[in-house]
Structure 1
Amino acid sequence: MRTKRTTRLAIYAALLSGALVASGVTAASAEERDPVADAIAQAPLNAQVINDQHESASVDLSTGEGALVAENAHHQEASISYDLDSGPSLTLTAQDSRSSNGADTTAQVLSDGSARLLTVFTDADSNLVSKYATEIPEGWAAQKRSDGGYDIVPGPVLRDALGKHGLSGEFVLATIDAPWAVDANGAEVATSFELVGNQLLQRIKPDANTAFPVTADPRVVGHGYYFSIYYNKSETRSMRDTGAVVGFILAAGAAIAALPGGVAVSAVLYTVGAGAVAAIATVAGNASGEGRCLKLDVPSFIPTSVKC
């Protein structure tokens, strides 16, 4: 004979089962929830992700100079790369996927023109580390920023050569954004990057209040090249002629292309069109007549008359 207590428990169980069915969730499916998939779905900027956890994807940059690629292979082997049309690329590849501390990594492309490797740590550990093999184009170097991220900029040889050819400005191929990590409650977790040789390490430091899983990522943003070329008075005077304009630009491109890492910059110089050449010659003529010099912004090839 059933007791009142047994009957009451049976009623509670029936009510709970009915609630789960009504919501489309069964007891079995509740137990089968994937904590990694849940963490990925709740990651910052998730609304901008264009591929799912196991898909690869590629998106062309709005500047038309290259593409951002995310590759997800078997067993969650993942990599992201910023590939320029001129050949060089910056690539990050996840290492130690599904390691002993429960790390799981997926590559994602975002609609804002960035790509990231999202790593989820499901097991508590006092010292979590994500390891990424980093391939930086020849002639370029990683320069650490004050926020803990890295800019990929010309190395010493390329930088000096650019200066000798009158090129200056923002030569940032791409940026590895400042590191971040959040726990299951959305609370920030202390984290930092360290570049050791060709390996990027992201160290995550959970504390007693950290709720697992913890999600973290390195995010790559491609910039292309935005710089200016400054010409002296003699060069400006010569560039009143369209032939001289073409000659100066192609000469700079050829000299830079011969340097390690220079082909990417020279490829941008070679995109100058006939309309831009005519406009440059006109501004150079006006600048020369006023005792001023020519400045040329690239890749827009907009000429400006400046003091010199």
Structure 2
Amino acid sequence: MKIRPHTPLVASAVLLGLMASGTAPAYASLDTDPDQVAQTVAAVAPTELSAVDIHENEDHLSAPLTQGGEAVISRAASDGLTFSSDPGEQGTTISLPGASALSDAAVSADGSVTYAGNQQVPAVNVVASEDAVRISTVITSPSQPQEFAYDFGAGNSVEIQEDGSVVVVSDQPAAGSPETEVIVASIDAPWATDASGVPVATHYVAEGSVLTQVVEHRSGDTTYPVVADPTVDQPNIFQYRVRFDRAETAAIASGGWGGVVGSFSCGVMAPVCALATGSLAYNAGVAQNSSPKKCVQVTATQPMVVPGMVWWVDTYAGGPCT
């Protein structure tokens, strides 16, 4: 599916059309209509997502994802969302902000899932598509919070990248390869937009396994409702990463593939490192010439070279790069 961007003008026109037709959402009420929440999210979201078919079970809803993955959307908001690479396998669970005050899940006409809120807690709308899973909060007034926490659970650490995006890394390395980290979630840079299509200042804060989106909707001339979300990329729920430290980065920059082999840090990702030799050497040189100096890393959707595998090399700061 090709994701097509909305423009603020189009988004505003859609929402204003809803208001003019008398179907504008009454978000301050306790009986928020799931379809109205879904319409408001779709009107201002920067990308258009089409929901996959939802399978309804007694205690949860399931959405099949690409490459055999699955998103499990619990009926009770307090049970959160779970992503797994294969149906039935233990996956990564994400808590929802304000979960204790949210209603049970309801499927909207567009296939998204909504947890209705109230005057103190924003509603949460979830769209599971083939390309991404979007988790949106719909903020209806200045009295509602400006911080929304998503906990990825014990054993995971949240990292905010230079471009504002996020990776969530398991504290346990890949089996049999202590050099290889497992990335359990990749999240787009945050966004927030008010009802007139005007961006609202927002950013992420990371602490341990918790990712918090801060939405500064009380500052400035904000038109409510405000929609904000983290979007979890698909189809690569699980990825693998090798980070090289300063000494290893210097060795790679000066010796190319020989430097990589000499570092003994690729582990199970050695086939990917071999494939990425040229890019590793180039980016290591960029890292060495940066001020302050950075380090090089390689990420892949599989630790072995297989059809459909995607890999990339970039630089980073912090962590092992000290």
TM-score, structure 2 as length reference: 0.50
Residue of structure 1 in register with 2:91 after alignment = 89
Shift of the alpha carbon at 1:192? 1.3
Residue of structure 2 in register with 1:143 after alignment = 159
1:80–1:117 CA contact under 8 A, matched in 2:
no
1:30 aligns with one of 16, 22, 31? 22
Q: Which deviations, in whole Å up to 9, do the C-alpha atoms of 1:33-68 show, x marking residues without a partner?
A: 44552412314234423469x994412323x3x323
Residue of structure 1 in register with 2:43 after alignment = 42
Rounded Cα–Cα distance in structure 1 between residues aligned with 2:80 and 2:198: 26
Shift of the alpha carbon at 1:186? 1.4
- What's the secondary structure of 1:184's corresponding residue? coil
Q: Which deviations, in whole Å up to 9, do the C-alpha atoms of 1:281-302 show, x marking residues without a partner?
A: xxxxxxxxxxxxxxx9615189
Compared CA separation, residues 31 and 118, structure 1 to 2 (3 A):
closer
Residue of structure 2 in register with 1:158 after alignment = 173
2:188–2:231 CA contact under 8 A, matched in 1:
yes
User: Is 2:290 the partner of 1:298?
Assistant: no
Shift of the alpha carbon at 1:100? 4.5
Compared CA separation, residues 58 and 159, structure 1 to 2 (3 A):
closer
1:227–1:299 CA contact under 8 A, matched in 2:
no
1:40–1:120 CA contact under 8 A, matched in 2:
yes
Q: Which deviations, in whole Å up to 9, do the C-alpha atoms of 1:174-213 show, x marking residues without a partner?
A: 2022111110011111111223344332110123222110
Residue of structure 1 in register with 2:200 after alignment = 189
User: Is 2:56 the partner of 1:61?
Assistant: no
Rounded Cα–Cα distance in structure 2 between residues aligned with 1:50 and 1:56: 12
Compared CA separation, residues 227 and 181, structure 1 to 2 (3 A):
closer
Shift of the alpha carbon at 1:221? 1.9
Compared CA separation, residues 51 and 191, structure 1 to 2 (3 A):
farther
- What's the secondary structure of 1:172's corresponding residue? strand
After TM superposition, what 4+ stretches of structure 1 lie above 6 angstroms from structure 2?
none
Residue of structure 2 in register with 1:217 after alignment = 229
Compared CA separation, residues 142 and 128, structure 1 to 2 (3 A):
closer
**Residue segments in structure 2 that go unaligned for 5+ positions in a row:** 1-17, 28-35, 103-116, 243-266, 270-301, 309-322
Q: Which deviations, in whole Å up to 9, do the C-alpha atoms of 1:224-261 show, x marking residues without a partner?
A: 34679xxxxxxxxxxxxxxxxxxxxxxxxxxx9xxxxx
- What's the secondary structure of 2:159's corresponding residue? strand
Residue of structure 2 in register with 1:105 after alignment = 124
1:101–1:122 CA contact under 8 A, matched in 2:
no
Rounded Cα–Cα distance in structure 1 between residues aligned with 2:208 and 2:159: 13
2:190–2:213 CA contact under 8 A, matched in 1:
yes
Shift of the alpha carbon at 1:158? 2.1
Q: Which deviations, in whole Å up to 9, do the C-alpha atoms of 1:12-40 show, x marking residues without a partner?
A: xxxxxxxxxxxxx9x9x827744552412
1:69–1:82 CA contact under 8 A, matched in 2:
yes
Compared CA separation, residues 216 and 297, structure 1 to 2 (3 A):
closer
Residue of structure 2 in register with 1:124 after alignment = 142
**Residue segments in structure 1 that go unaligned for 5+ positions in a row:** 1-24, 229-255, 257-264, 267-295, 303-308
1:106–1:119 CA contact under 8 A, matched in 2:
yes
Rounded Cα–Cα distance in structure 2 between residues aligned with 1:49 and 1:95: 22
Tell me how many residue pairs correspond in the alignment. 200
Compared CA separation, residues 160 and 42, structure 1 to 2 (3 A):
same
Rounded Cα–Cα distance in structure 2 between residues aligned with 1:203 and 1:68: 25
- Name the one with the larger helix percent: 1
Q: Which deviations, in whole Å up to 9, do the C-alpha atoms of 1:47-100 show, x marking residues without a partner?
A: 423469x994412323x3x323334x26x6683332133944222221324255
